[in-house]
Amino acid sequence: MTPIRKLEDSRSNGASVNEVRKRYLDFFAARGHAIIPSAPIVPENDPTTLFTSSGMQPLVQYLLGQEHPEGKRLVNSQISFRAEDIEEVGDNRHTTFFEMLGNWSLGDYFKQEQLPWFFEFLTSKGEGLGLDPERIYVTTFSGDEESGMKEDTEAKEIWKKIGIPDERIFSYGAKKNWWSRAGIPSKMPAGEIGGPDSEVFYDFQTPHDEKFGKECHPNCECGRFVEIGNSVFMQLIKNPDGSFSELPKRNVDFGGGLERLTAATFGNPDIFLIDVFDTARAVLETRSGKNYTRSNLVQRSFRIILDHIRAAAFMIGSGIKPSNTEQGYVLRRLIRRSIREADKLGIKDAVLAEVAETFGVVYADAYPFVKEHATIIREELGKEEMQFKKTLTNGLRELEKMGNDIDAFMLFTTYGFPVELTEEIAKERGLSIDVEKVKMQMEEHQALSRAGAEQKFKGGLADSAEQTVRYHTTTHLLLAALRKVLGGEITQKGSNITAERLRFDFNWPEKLSQEQLKAVEDLVNEKIQEKISVEMRELPKEEAIEIVGTLSFDLSKYGDIVKVYKIGDFSAEFCGGPHVANTSELGHFKIIKEEASSAGVRRIKAVLE
């Protein structure tokens, strides 16, 4: 790792993340709560959502009435991820990945216990955090006229009794201080449960920015007030006639951001200055030669990388790998945004794995699986960074040429440049991309590609981006290598090629041995190292048959004039393209899996490193 210069500690008498987490768990354990472990970041047995986004999410069944094996009082710290917050990252308080401190009452205590307990945790200098009580503001539910829901005067009176004066108590409607899975009361279906909530904010006493409104208040977006906890009181169920009834067993669901609470202990609203980011931040300062506090733009880049790579480390450590679908797509987006921000900081060499490694160390006690999977985290980040840097360079160069007339569709189909990244860059320049138009272009492009593939060849390309083209050429080498190693009439039975890997099906009656796979792999790499030119010739079909010999495709799909792609004397195939110009452009070929596809057909999955 690069030597890291010592970072000046900007904290004053604050606590570490580990200390705050432990104090919270101990505080509620002392009040009869069972400490339960964090659920995985990918929900178990829940196909409706990609990530665990709150401490409540894994406990819904118990909040709805099922008995929890640990009892009626629970507490934990839940690792969470919210993809919808990606665009918000860059200021001093938003993250995609965070820890949510939570305590729950399942039909046990209610408002009279919850609100004083949380206030005590915040302000006590013994068991709690020792925060200044005069900097604590609270909000309560003001009622909802549309549903006939009355104001939560009970919570307001409890706060007053605790010692919060009227001027630090604010009331908001259902959009701010009501919780149910369906949203505001009027949107709730019959049988849905919900209730008012009471949020707690910490006043960091930063100057108010009037662009967010003339008057500052807890829900103002200027950054002075930061929410540090929310107690939800699930006490009502909606009836078929639209009215509400009290639940026989009322629940408390509390959630508080660990990082924000930690920031409050040293009086600085910038959560990226808490201890878990120290070493990672120093890595970026050392590698970029820029100080974190140098400018708003530098800070924004630092924050995006710090947040996104922490999230990536936990995701990869949890078994997620970058891909173009579901959790893997979100992970890939985080990584690619980080690569771009590193480029903006002037960091030209790979840096993400080094940043990620710091999180494995700092979270070793609480979440050891991150450090235990350090090798795979480093490999996946390194691979993504290597592959995307060239795409980024080429895409940015073409984007600059476009000026204000940005063609997101062309950038993606020609250079593999992500549309969402083009959209972000356009936004930074005060421009907009017609996303709906791009979607239509994509759909038309995919339809044409499918039709072309049916008419010309079973290429299986996901798109025509640069890396995809490399994989397409590699399938020709793979087919030729299989014929050399296995002998016999090996023909292609299908393929699927993306920018991440190739999948190739071929006829063979049994599982390939490790020796056979290694021989195929070595032969492909040998041809790559020989730097062979890839040549294309358009020929009459009958003449082409004499060159190609054993065919992988149905001749009826081709016209009288066909394209033949030759790779030296090693490979010759009918194909509609596209291909690289020379095998030296391909990289190192590695088979990652060999398996049965169907009766008499085997499947190889491989990557270029």
| pLDDT, tens only, 23-50 | 999 999 999 999 999 999 988 766 678 8
Domain covering 466-608 in this structure, CATH number: 3.30.980.10
pLDDT digits (tens, 9 = 90+) for 461-489: 444 467 778 888 999 999 999 999 998 67
Mean pLDDT throughout 289-311?
Answer: 93
Q: Please write down the long-range contacts of 374-382, taking CB distance under 8 Å and 24 or more positions apart.
A: 376/316, 376/317, 377/312, 377/313, 377/316, 377/317, 377/353, 378/353, 380/316, 380/321, 380/322, 381/309, 381/312, 381/316, 381/335, 381/352, 381/353, 381/356, 382/350, 382/352, 382/353
Could you give the CA distance from residue 10 to residue 277 in angstroms, rounded to a whole number? Answer: 12
Residue 189: how many CB atoms within 10 A of its CB?
A: 10
Q: How distant, in Å, are the alpha carbons of 262, 382, 461, 532 from that of 33?
A: 22, 43, 55, 68
Nearest to 479 by CA among 524, 533, 537: 524
Longest dimension (CA), the chain: 94
Tell me what percent of the residues of the chain surpass a pLDDT of 90.
Answer: 47
Q: Position 86: which residue type?
A: I
- Write the CA distances from 467 to 311, 388, 396, integer angstroms: 26, 9, 17
Q: Which helix (H) or strand (E) holds 202?
A: strand 193-203
Q: List beta partners, residue 398.
A: none
Pairing of β 136-141 and β 169-172: parallel
Q: How far is the CA of 81 from the CAs of 43, 252, 334, in angstroms?
A: 11, 22, 12
590's enclosing H/E stretch is strand 589-598
What tokens were used for 578? 């596209």
Cα distances from 485 to residues 351, 365, 377, 482, 593, in angstroms, run 40, 50, 34, 5, 17
pLDDT of residue 488: 66
| Residue 460 or 393, more confident | 393
Average pLDDT estimate for 295-301 = 91
The separation between the first and the last C-alpha atoms of the chain, rounded to the nearest angstrom, is 22
The amino acid that residue 602 corresponds to is R
Position 447 confidence tier, pLDDT thresholds 50, 70, 90: low
pLDDT tops 70 at residue 550 = no
- Please give the pLDDT value at position 558: 55
Question: Helix axis angle, 419-428 relative to 408-415, nearest 10°?
Answer: 140
Residues of the chain with CATH 3.30.980.10: 466-608
Residues 554-596 have pLDDT tens digits of: 555 556 677 788 898 898 887 766 788 889 889 899 999 999 8
502-507 sheet: strands from edge to edge: 492-497, 502-507, 601-608, 589-598
Q: How far apart are CA 191 and CA 185, in angstroms?
A: 12
pLDDT band at 460 (very low <50, low <70, confident <90, very high): very low
Handedness of CA 398, 404, 407, 412 (dihedral sign): positive
Higher-confidence residue of 552 and 313: namely 313
pLDDT score, position 270: 92
Q: If you average pLDDT over residues 181-190, what whole number do you get? A: 85
| pLDDT single digits (tens) 188-199 | 888 888 899 999
The whole-angstrom separation of Cα 268 and Cα 308 is 21
Query: Would you state the pLDDT for residue 45?
Result: 65
Structure-model confidence comparison of residues 274 and 422, the more confident one = 274
Structure letter (DSSP) for residue 288:
H
> Does residue 118 have a pLDDT over 60?
yes
Instruction: List the one residue out of 465, 472, 473 whose CA is nearest residue 410.
Output: 465
pLDDT at residue number 292: 92
Q: Where in the chain do CATH 3.30.930.10 domains reside? A: 17-272
Find out whether 606 and 589 touch, Cβ atoms under 8 Å: yes
Top mean-pLDDT range of 41-50, 134-143, 386-395, 534-543: 134-143
Partners of 473 in the β-ladder: none
Nearest C-alpha neighbor of 384 from the set 322, 342, 462, 468: 322
Task: Looking at the structure, give the CATH architecture of the domain made up of residues 17-272.
Answer: 2-Layer Sandwich (3.30)
Token representation of residue 322? 């970058």
- 222-236, 363-377, 411-425, 433-447: segment of lowest average pLDDT: 433-447
H or E element that contains 225: strand 225-238
Residues in the chain: 609
Q: 3-class SS at 101?
A: strand
pLDDT confidence of residue 480: 92
**Quick one: what percent of the chain has pLDDT higher than 70?**
91
Map residue 552 onto helix, strand or coil. Answer: coil
Coil, helix or strand at residue 541: helix
Is the distance from CB of 307 to CB of 97 less than 8 angstroms?
A: yes
Contact 141, 177 (CB under 8 A): yes
| d(C-alpha 342, C-alpha 336), whole Å | 10
CA nearest 26: which of 67, 86, 77, 92?
Answer: 77
For residue 11, pLDDT over 60 is answered with no
pLDDT confidence of residue 364:
94
* For residues 597-607, average pLDDT: 88
- Average pLDDT, whole number, for the chain? 86
pTM of the entire structure? Answer: 0.70
Q: Which two tokens stand for residue 194?
A: 């919900």
Asked if 558 contacts 552 with a C-beta cutoff of 8 angstroms, the reply is no
Least confident of 151-155, 221-225, 331-335: 221-225
Phi, psi (deg, nearest 5) at residue 241: -85, 5
Q: What DSSP string describes 9-32? A: P--SS---HHHHHHHHHHHHHTTT
- Evaluate the CA torsion angle 264, 266, 271, 276 in order and state its sign: negative
DSSP H helical ranges for 163-294: 174-177, 258-265, 278-288
What lies within 8 Å, CB to CB, of 9 at 6+ separation is: none
Helix axes 466-486 and 514-529, enclosed angle (nearest 10): 120
Instruction: Please report the DSSP string for 438-505 in residue order.
Output: HHHHHHHHHHHHHHHHHHH----BS---HHHHHHHHHHHHHHHHHHHHH-S---EEEEEE-SS-EEEE
